[in-house]
Each structure stands twice: as C-alpha cells, then as structure tokens.
Structure 1
Amino acid sequence: MTENKSSTSKTSVDRSLFDKVILPVYAPAQFIPVKGQGSRVWDQQDNEYIDFAGGIAVNALGHCHPQLVDALKNQSEKLWHTSNVFANEPSLRLAQKLIQHTFADRAFFANSGAEANEAAFKLARHYAIEKFSPYKTKIIAFYQAFHGRTLFTVSVGGQAKYADGFGPKPADIVHVPFNDLDAVKAVMDEHTCAVVLEPVQGEGGLTSATPEFLTGLRELCDKYDALLVFDEVQCGMGRTGSLFTYMQYGVEPDILTSAKALGGGFPISAMLTTEKVASVMHPGLHGTTYGGNPLACAVAEVAFDIINSPEVLKGIQARHDLFIEHLEAINKQFNVFKGYRGKGLLLGAELQTKYQGRARDFLNIATEYRVMILNAGTDVLRFTPSLIITPEEIKSGMVRLSQAIEKIVKAE
C-alpha cells in the first residue's frame, strides 16, 4: 500500500526541502531566488543579489523584461499549445526572422539545447547516409566540448565525467584536441559525416576557436562531403557581440543550433540548416511534442527582435571592456587571475596556478557577498550576465566580488 504522504502545503518551502524532493543531480546555492528585475535578484529573505550568471547565459535581457512579460501575457490569453499536427503563427514568424538574418533556409524548434543538438546530429547522419553511404556516419568532435545531456549529445561532448557510467554509448564518434587542425586531418576521411564544435567552448573553459581553425574545418568538410555543425547554444544570440558567433569568422556552417538566450528565459531551442541538407527529411522522421509551441515562440520572437537590434549588439563590447576593467582592478589588488577568455559577455577569468581547481569555491563565496557568478571547469570564473546589464549593476557586482575574493585571499 502506498504510504499516505502529508500535503506539501504544510511543508516549509526552503532550501532543505530540495535535499528531500529533488533528484540529487544538482548542488544549488543555499539561498532561493524568488524575484528578479533587470540584473538584480531577491531571495526569500528579501536580500538583493547582482546577477552576473544570467541563468547560465539564458537571461540575455535580464529578469522580467517588460516586453517579454507583455509577449507572454498576450500569448497566454490566445493559444498555448496545439502540437505539430497544426502550424501556428508565432513559430512561423520566428522561423522567418531566424532565416532572414542567418545562412539558413529551414528551422526546427525544440525545447532545449540538447534537443536541438540531438536533432542536428541525427540530421547530419541521415543526410550522409541518404546522399552518400550507409557507412558515412563518423562524427568528429572535440575534447572539453559540451553539447547536452542526452546519451547521444553527451557522447559527442568531449568530457568523460558527463558521459561515463550510463552503459554503451553511440558509436563512431571521435574526439580530438580543440583548435588543432592537424588532429582533425588525421582522423577525417570519406566516412566522416560531420564535424561538430562550439565556436567558443562554454563549459570547457571559454576557449575561442581561432579563425584559421574554423576556415580549415570548412575546407575539410567541403573536401570530404561532411557537414560543419556549429553549436551556438551558449555563444549565440548576441552573447559574443554578433547575432551568432560564426558571423565574426566569415565561415558559414551547414547546421547551427541555438537555445539559452533565444527565449530570454523561456525554454525554446532551434536547429537551423540549409535547404540542401533539409531536403532529406520528411514527415515523421523526427519530431517533438512541445517544440515550436505558440507560447515559447511568441516570447522568443520579441527576445530576438530586441537582441538583434543595433543598440543591444553594439553595447556588448563596451560592457565586455567594463567587466575586464573591473576584473583588472581586482587582480591588481589580489593577483588571482592569470588571464581572460571568451568573447563579448561570454567571459572567463582564469585563476592563477595557486587557485586552480577552486573555481567552485569562488562561486560559493561570491554568493555570500550576494553576487551570482559561474565557473567553466575548475580553473575559470565565468560571467554571462544580461546583454543590457547597466554600468551601475556591473560596478555594484564587482565591489561584492572583490570582497568575496579578499576573503579567499586572506584565508590562505
């Protein structure tokens, strides 16, 4: 007989409840955010925090942007969900805008970056099989990459800590060092269906691809009839200063994935591709229940319009420079950073040798001083704030970060 459980209405909703009811795959901070506005967040005790994390590069327009709130309210009173048995206006408008402003001819919507990447990898293999050979299935990917948590995407990602321990993995995936074109050449052959990478590795430490590397990959893919797949889940949608990062390199992919900032906080993702590649697909070959739902697409359309505006895109580099200026001032005082990584507002500060392996400690102590940051691996502090964070919010957050770092340094 099922045990009679007390109503959750009688249970105090605090941080201790997490340890009782949520699958133990996360280790969240000890405070619970309950309200946000711009780049400020308040917890259950009404303490204010400065948000330099942006929901891991998701809240590109901060918390509760009024135009996104209006879009959500308006669509919520019209149509939430129909399934993909029917088309809907918001998804068609969003797809049209993504196509108009990128290399792509076709869009596929899902709910998360992992789902977009799953679709991309399946499409790449199916295209190669249909157009060339059933044996053209090799995917070349890179160490320290991150592409999602499904079994396929975590296998393409180049970090064993995320992929091991779940039984047999999808086969025919080869990993090589990032930014090493010779390593790619050594494993590239007629059986390769795709080369997959993040133009700026996110979880892997914020390493940017070199122009020579991306140009070389494009040439190799053309030579071997392989597809070039860019995972811009984290580095896309204005995060690095252009609508998508590939635009800074002059190298076009065959498939691109987007998520995180695409919905400004509402779950949505997209896979973009060319007509040539899309032509191998037909109804029933792939799908999703919630992907492209009117509610998500209505919010994402407004987020896209704002992010893709000259005002927002041109302001990202200035904010990047301001972050670096403040980090340099902190470093001049405490000597904790050995260098900076990333582009735009996908920014990393690499810890000095004596502090390496302790990025999570910096994150945790930062929350004590009410500033929210991230780590990228164990040696890099990561900053992915709102693309429209104000100079005042940056200054306030950096004052708090300086106090947190001072505590760590004095404890040595």
Structure 2
Amino acid sequence: MTAAASLRVVPGRTDRIVVAVFVALAALLLILALLWRVPMMLWDHLDLVPIYERYLQGALPIADLVRIHGGHLHAGAYAVLLVTTDLSHGATWLDVVASMVFLLAYATVITMLALRLARDRDHGLAYVLILIAFALYPGHLANLQWGWQVAVFVCLAGAVAAIALLSAPVFTAMRGVAALACAACAFASFAIGFAVLPVGALVLALRRDLTRPARWAWVAIWGAATLAAAWLLHRGAPTGRDFVVVARYALNFLGAGVARYATDPAPWLGAAALASGLAFGWRHRARTSTLPWLGLFLFGVASAFLTAYGRAGDYGAEQAFATRYVSFSSVFWLGWLGLLAQCPRDTRRQVRGVRCATAAVAVLATFNAVHLMKKAAVVAARSQAVADTIRRTYPDVPEHVLADIYFDQPAIARERLARLRAWEFAPFDRRPDQ
C-alpha cells in the first residue's frame, strides 16, 4: 500500500482521526486563550460599561444596540456580552468561552465541507486535516483572548453557515431563509459580515440546478438585503479613498493569513493567491462542489477590500497586518485551498502541482501560527500588567495608563473604571487571598 493510499478517506477510521484532531486543536486554542486572556475590560470593551449600566437599570434603548461603533454594527455581539458579563460578574473568562463556542460552530461547518470535498474530489485525509487546521488556526488567538471580539466569531459562524447553506448539494427555500438569517447575525455583529450578502447573491446566481425564475428571485432577495445593509452602514462610511492604498491594504490583509511574520513578501503571496483563486473559481464555477469554496474565497476577498475601504485612508496600508484580521484572512486561504482541490489531477504533473502548492501554504501557515502565538502572549503580558497597575494604584491610576486603556481619553477611562470598581468587576473583583 502506498503512503497516498493509506491516507484515503475511509468511513469510520477517518471520522475517528478527524474528531481527534478537531478536539485536540480546539482544546489547545481554548487553553491558550484562557491562559492569555485579557483579564479585564480594556480599550473598546470599556464601551460596554454604559450599555451594561442601562441594561441593569432596565432602560436599555434599542438605539444603543444598533448604534454604529467604529464602523461596526455590534448588536449581536452586545447581546452575547451582556449575558456573559452578567453571569460571570465581569470576569472575562466567560467571554472567551462564548467566543470559543461560536468558533467551534464555524469550524464544524468547515469540517463538514472538507469531508464532502474529500469524497467528491477523491482527496486524501491529509487535505481534510489541513483544512481543519486552518479552521482552528492559532491566528484566532488575537480575537479569542479579548472578550470584546466575540463579535468576530459570531460573524464568522453566521457567514460560513450562510455560505454552506446556499451551496448545499440540494437547495431548498428553507435553506435560503436560514442562510439569510445566518447572514443577518453575521452582519449584526461585525461590519465584515456585510460581505456575505453580495457573495451569497453570487453563489445563488451560479447555481444551475435552480430554475431561472427561482434563481433570479433569490438573487433579487439577497441583492435587496445587500442594499439595505449598505444603507445601514453608510452612516459611518468614509469618503474619498486612494485606490492604490486600498489595494495595497487588501493584499497585505490577505497575505497576512499565512505570512504575517514576513510583511514584505506577504502582499505578493496575497496577490498570487487572489489571481490563481479567481482563475480556479471561474474555470470550475459550474461544479456544485466548487460553490462553498468559491464563497469562502470571495468572502475573504470582500472582507479585505471592505476593511481596506474603511481603514486604509486613516491608518495606512500597514495597518492591515493587525493580528486580529487573520481570523478573516484565514477564510480566504481556506477557500483558496478548496478551489485548488477542484483542479484536474489527470496527470502526475497536475497531482504534484496541487500537492506542492498545498504543502507550501501549510508550511507558511505553520510558521505564521507560531508567530501569532507569540504575539498573543505579548498582549496577555501587557494587559495583565495594566490590570495589576490599575488594581494597585486605584484611585490614583497614572494618567498615561488611563490614556492607554481608552484611546487617549483619560477622563472617560477614569469614569468607567469607577463603575467597574462599584460593581466589583475585574480588576477589582474579590480574590481568594483577599
């Protein structure tokens, strides 16, 4: 038996291996995220304080939930954070667990798609495991460790579930409605969720198993949802953007998914994957098996350009290397790997090409994972030091610390720390040694 044959997807054995790898990667992520969690409400998370206060008073207006915050609609994430904050009495570990639950939902959908891909295209178990590793990627730690970023995982879970439903082998009206609900959850938690709406419309337009009237009726519904969401977001939209800077930002964003540690070659990697992925997707667009991976790929592309449009003008193209964006750029690479798997393997050369490209991306991603884990550890140490300083010096917290924890606005930081102190939330919670 050859090595390749031994890695064939075999029912029973494959299921056990997939479950074992999935559980191991998920457990590692959860342990690291809890060990390295941001120990108190910091930075944007402090904006939950006035919302939570009105929630306690029973006077939380809907306007607070749907207000644009930093270019995002966070209503879905607020709903989760209000519950976790209340249940944990301000301890951030429950925020991490909530984020992990949504990440597991996202990773479960990816795993199901990966297994379907292996069956449809006769790929081996190694290909499935690489896709699972991208779904449970250590790059997620930058968001997992910070409770505020539960919005990212609600968005990812909703967006990927919507794409999977729209690209199912058999499309039904019930799946179309469920996909729209998932897309709404994604959009209502993080602005990047908007990207799934036009992508969903395109996936529907490419379905050749639907009658023309049904296909275009669904495309019209998703198109209308896209316009409505765009109208909701336009209040915080920037005006005037340099296309060159936007393009550079987007390529940096995409390349960082596998090469955040190498900022010079990263955009070139992003450009190569973008060009080849578009070619793969166009060539194999008629295959039903292509649609979920094309959807993931285009969602990653749209995420990059949407973020670039909102951030490039104010922060420059280098800001795209922020570690928290890797959760979205990794979706782009997942889609790219799935599209690569659609390529014919009629000759030894084609088989070798697919394997070499997959292995190269896997190696790059492995180095990237180590790099991003180190970054997460640095954030953990820094945030723990800030929490210790606040606990030790309160109420005379140094001005520079106050400015650091809330965007150079020490007066607002002091006011919100006072509320945390009154509620005995972290870092003022009672400890066993007190």
Give the TM-score, by structure 1 length: 0.26
Q: Which has the higher helix share?
A: 2
Higher relative contact order (Cα pairs below 8 Å, separated by 6+ residues): 1
Give the TM-score, by structure 2 length: 0.25
